[in-house]
Structure 1
Amino acid sequence: MSATIVLREPWHPHPLAWIHRAEARALAIELDAPLRTFSGQGGLLRLSDPVMLRAVGRLTAAGIPYIGPAAATMQLCYDKRAAADRLRVAGIDTPAEVTSYPMVIKPRRGSDSLGVRIVRSGPIPADHLGQELLTGTEITVAVLHEAVGAPLRIELPPGAIYSFARKYFLRPRRLPIVDKQAQKTALRIATLFGVNWAARVDFIRSGDRLVFLECDVAPLVGMGSAFADSLTAGGMPRAEQLRRLILAA
């Protein structure tokens, strides 16, 4: 489809690296594009979030064009407290930070639900957030440029959270649902964060609340990902997804 170079990170012993390297290889095949290891050049960046964060900062500072998230947007969304504060000011519901148990704790900086867990006692680790424990239905919505996908309901066991392991290794069923509020809010969040490429926005419906959980602006975009499935369920064929993914931001 394109001569765009797909760039992956060097191999290193971390599950995020394995997942993103595999996706980069599959995406290069889909696009009929060369696959290279990132070493400071421009192209379609398919890097895990910690590596992506550094890469887009370097490329932006050097004035090198690339396809991927804007550096400022990546920095904001990687900081969970800063992201929640931005949305709260705009009137979007976010989990309250709490000091009482039970609670959900998560690293302040990070993505992909790494380190997210429910705790019922003990100290909160340094550089972690303690948030209210919400029960309900987890939902994810894709945004690509200005297009928004169909919300997907995440089928989790009772009391479970959408952890890193469940996202990538114990993948639950994801079922399309009609939720106009989730679509509208996902698009608004993408605008507030300055998303200029792709995003996957996660929510939980708890009673009558639609609560923001995370905005991943460097999501997995390959076939079978929540991002791709949301767009497909929303009526965007895979070929059109690929065309838009390689558009310059």
Structure 2
Amino acid sequence: MRTRSAAYLPSPLIVLVDRWRFDPLAWLHRAEARAIVAEQRAAGRAVEVRSFDPDRLPRDARILLRLSDPVMRDAVRALEASGTAYCGPGGAALERCYDKWRAYETVCRAGIDCPETRSATGEPGFAPPIIVKPRRGSDSIGLRVVRRGPVPARLRNEAMLVQPQVLGAELTVGVIDGHAGEPLRLGLAEGVPYTFLRKYLLPPKRMLLTDRTLAARAQHTALAVARALGVDWAVRVDFILERARNRLLFLECDAAPLVGPASAFAASLAAGGMARAEQLARLLGEA
């Protein structure tokens, strides 16, 4: 969240990261933080990297949050409670996006098309294949496909959501400060889920859309999603284009995406004409 005072905070830049622990998500965010730190130091900026400690919050510095989602939520709560300005997602927006059920309800009320989504506590009401995903979270952690038979009993609880599997092309769009990047199509075969493994460890090729009408439609819808969810920093908005009915369906708004130089967020904005220097300036509240 770029608070009103963030634009006037002095250097150096402090990048808050996860403490080292045996967790792939923490490793990914620490690696991304190193890339951003390298960019800033190459530009001649003094940068300090610190592990997040709720009892030792930075003061009198520009703070950039590069944390895994669970730690990001803790850090945002602590910083907001202390009145400390930082560069990262605001708490309210982060929670709206983190809770997929709430996000779907909000986006649907705004007139944006979404897959049919239900709690996993009862019968799904649609035939397999069925997508089962955690209600809270991001990065496709815990996502699975039930291709036949009922949803397993261990997954039928309030913490999980179910959706019919939609076949089509998956798209992602980076958004910041009311600017939408070029939609990128992910090189996945139809029916192959975009799991955590495929998102970060075996990432598919990203391709620009040749259909300019569809590209403009995805950009417009991504901005509409961002407005509906009240996002206040960088987000990545994911869709699936159901080709059979030409429906562009909202899948997720990641309010704490990877924003490093190799990220889909950065690639989308760069393809849309926003140079990396401007991206960094906007991420740091300096544009």
Corresponding residue SS for 2:193:
coil
- The Cα shift of 1:196 comes to 1.1
Corresponding residue for 1:7? 16
Corresponding residue for 2:206? 174
- The Cα shift of 1:231 comes to 0.5
Q: What is the correspondence of 1:6-155 to structure 2 with a 5 Å cutoff?
A: 6-32=15-41, 33-40=47-54, 41-42=57-58, 43-97=63-117, 99=124, 100=126, 101-120=128-147, 121-123=149-151, 125=155, 126=157, 127-155=159-187
- The Cα shift of 1:9 comes to 1.0
1:197 pairs with 2:233: yes
- The Cα shift of 1:29 comes to 1.2
Corresponding residue SS for 1:34:
strand
- The Cα shift of 1:138 comes to 0.2
Aligned residues of 2:169 and 2:190 also touching (Cα < 8 A): no
Aligned residues of 1:203 and 1:211 also touching (Cα < 8 A): yes
* Alpha-carbon displacement from aligned partner over 1:147-196 (angstroms, at most 9, x marks no partner): 11000000103421111111101110001223111101101111111111
Moved over 6 A (4+): none
Q: Distance in 2 between matches of 1:246 and 1:39?
A: 21
Larger displacement relative to structure 2 (53-62 or 11-20): 53-62
Q: What is the correspondence of 1:188-227 to structure 2 with a 5 Å cutoff?
A: 188-207=224-243, 208-227=246-265
Letter in 2 for 1:20: H
5+ long unaligned stretches in structure 2: 1-10, 42-46, 119-123
- The Cα shift of 1:230 comes to 0.2
CA RMSD of aligned residues (A): 1.5
What TM-score results when the alignment is normalised by the length of structure 2? Answer: 0.83
* Alpha-carbon displacement from aligned partner over 1:14-59 (angstroms, at most 9, x marks no partner): 1100100111111111112221112242510000111111211121
Quick one: percent identity of the two aligned structures? 51
Letter in 2 for 1:21: R
Q: Distance in 1 between matches of 2:163 and 2:70?
A: 23
What TM-score results when the alignment is normalised by the length of structure 1? Answer: 0.95
- The Cα shift of 1:248 comes to 6.8
Aligned residues of 2:17 and 2:51 also touching (Cα < 8 A): yes
